[in-house]
Amino acid sequence: MVSRFLKISILLILPIFLFGCGADKLTYQKGFPKTKTRALIEFIGQQASQQMHFLYKEDNQCIYAKIPTKNDREVPYYRYEDAQLNDYVGKYLQTKLTPKTFKALRVDMKENLFQGISNKAIYNLPQISMENDNVLHVKTKTNERDFDLVDVLKEYKVKKTDKIIYEVTALTDEAFQLYVKDMDLSKTSKTDMTLFIKQDLSDIVVTQLYPGKLDKALDKNNLILYKSLLTKLDADRYLVKSASGYRILDYKSQQLKSVDDNDYLSLDGKYVYINGNKKDLQEGEQRIQTIENYLKGNDKYEREFNLSFKKIAKKLKLDTSGVSSASINYFNKDFVVIRLNFSGVVVGKAGATNVIIDLQDKKNPTAYIVDLGLE
């Protein structure tokens, strides 16, 4: 009798071990996170730097290059200190956040957190301006030179009357990356170019970072001087920063890759949210891999968790027939922000919200339900 009872118990308990131990269960709670954490600080920092490219962090200072506007004569650079950002995060925690107050804080941060950098040499930042006839004037700590883009980019048929947009997208002590877009090139051709330039201006590599067959200019030997701008993933693969996120330089397949269209690459290029970029993010089991495991195609997942739209609707007391759209607004290590739009039961809309999924506490991952107006 005891033995039979034991067998039945094992049969009942077994499924819990088989199916219940994989994905983490999220705790759902309304409101914004209440404590400062690394991931939250990163997220808030990113909010203020929307028209900028992050270049590097050193001595508790973050350095950014702003995307030049029509009023900027040259590429503007900005910095802030960790402590200053930390103070701003405190403001977010003290404020009752709504789409309006969240935006107001973001705008305030943009205006007051960032300090312009006038002495560029101290931070190893190239001084870059566009002169007449699309001649790029570059001055670094060690050299000064003009690059006639009509000549440098002759392969791409750039003309001296063309309207050119340029942005500094990556930088190290040895080299920097310049994104150049010709607004007058035909829409049917590829209008975006990337220039790898040595800080001493002794070398320049011109290429394009569109996904597809690897450009000859991206050959390993050509990029040997620009290794500091690449992140090595394994013997054949490197991460390279483009103006729209990271790409994968795959020398084995001779391809410049993006992650699959359905997947979502983290802001730092190190993690992949599987199916995070699908037209409509689905509820249920969610999986995150490191970029290395993703490229290997294995089943090792960094994080797995269950996402329930029904529980979120219940927390918000919404009468809804389901989610009409769901998408990721922000994704970096252990931190995801999504947007959910709930349909009404028969017509119209029941409501919308952002959900901050904080995976930092491995034992108690939490979904914070708060509408920040991020769409």
Partner 1 sequence: MGTYGREAVVTALLKNHLSQADTIVGSAGSALLKKGFQLGWARVGHGSISASIDTNFIEINMEDIKSEVDKWISQFDDLKENEQRIYDALTEPTPEQFMRLSRILSDASSIQQAYFQIKAELDEVEKEFENTVRVYRSPMRQALTAATLMYNSLNNIKGDFSDFENVSVYVHGIESDGEDFQDDVEEVADTGDVVVRKIRDEEAEYYIIQEVDGKRQMKAYDSLEELKESKYYNSEGRLHIVYDTEHQNEHRQETSDDLSELLTDMGLLNETTKIDMFGHSYGGRRSFQFAMDYPDHVRSITTIGTPYETNTLGSGANKYPFIAGHIPFVDFHPKEYSGYLDPNPENYRTDDGIDHSNVYTDMASESMGDDINHLKAANPEAYEKLEEMDITATAGSSGTISTYNYFDRKTEKVYLGDHIVSVNSQLAKELGDLIDDHEIYSIKMPIAHLKEIRNEEFIDLVKEVNKKEKE
Nearest-angstrom CA–CA distance, 351 and 340: 9
Q: Is 352 in the site for partner 1 (CB under 8 A)?
A: yes
Q: Is 127 in the site for partner 1 (CB under 8 A)?
A: no
Q: For residues 156 and 193, is the Cβ–Cβ distance under 8 A?
A: yes
Nearest-angstrom CA–CA distance, 94 and 89: 9
Strand 204-207 versus strand 192-198 pairing type: antiparallel
Tell me which of 93, 165, 267, 328 binds partner 1, using CB under 8 A. 165
Nearest-angstrom CA–CA distance, 100 and 271: 31
Q: Is 231 in the site for partner 1 (CB under 8 A)?
A: no
Q: Is 242 in the site for partner 1 (CB under 8 A)?
A: yes
Cα 182 to the center of its chain, rounded Å: 24
Q: Is 69 in the site for partner 1 (CB under 8 A)?
A: yes
Lookup: tokens for 281: 């993010």
Least separation in angstroms between CB 339 and partner 1: 9
Pick the closer one to partner 1 by CB: 147 or 166. Answer: 166
Q: Is 186 in the site for partner 1 (CB under 8 A)?
A: no
Nearest-angstrom CA–CA distance, 367 and 361: 11
Tell me which of 272, 350, 359, 367 binds partner 1, using CB under 8 A. 350
Q: Is 187 in the site for partner 1 (CB under 8 A)?
A: yes
Element (H, E) at 59: none
Q: Is 284 in the site for partner 1 (CB under 8 A)?
A: no
Taking contact as CB under 8 A, which single stretch among the options 62-70, 137-145, 285-293, 303-311 is the one that binds partner 1?
A: 62-70
Q: For residues 320 and 262, is the Cβ–Cβ distance under 8 A?
A: no
Least separation in angstroms between CB 205 and partner 1: 16
Least separation in angstroms between CB 213 and partner 1: 13
* Three-state secondary structure of 214-230: CCHHHCCCCCHHHHHHE
Nearest-angstrom CA–CA distance, 57 and 281: 33
Pick the closer one to partner 1 by CB: 302 or 371. Answer: 371
Tell me which of 66, 79, 237, 247 binds partner 1, using CB under 8 A. 247
Q: For residues 50 and 67, is the Cβ–Cβ distance under 8 A?
A: no
Bridge partner residues of 80 (DSSP): 62
Q: Is 341 in the site for partner 1 (CB under 8 A)?
A: yes
Applying CB under 8 A, the residues found at the interface with partner 1 are 50-51, 67-71, 99-100, 103, 106-107, 110, 163, 165, 179, 181, 183, 187, 190-192, 194, 208-211, 242-245, 247, 258, 319, 321, 324-325, 341, 343-350, 352, 373, 375
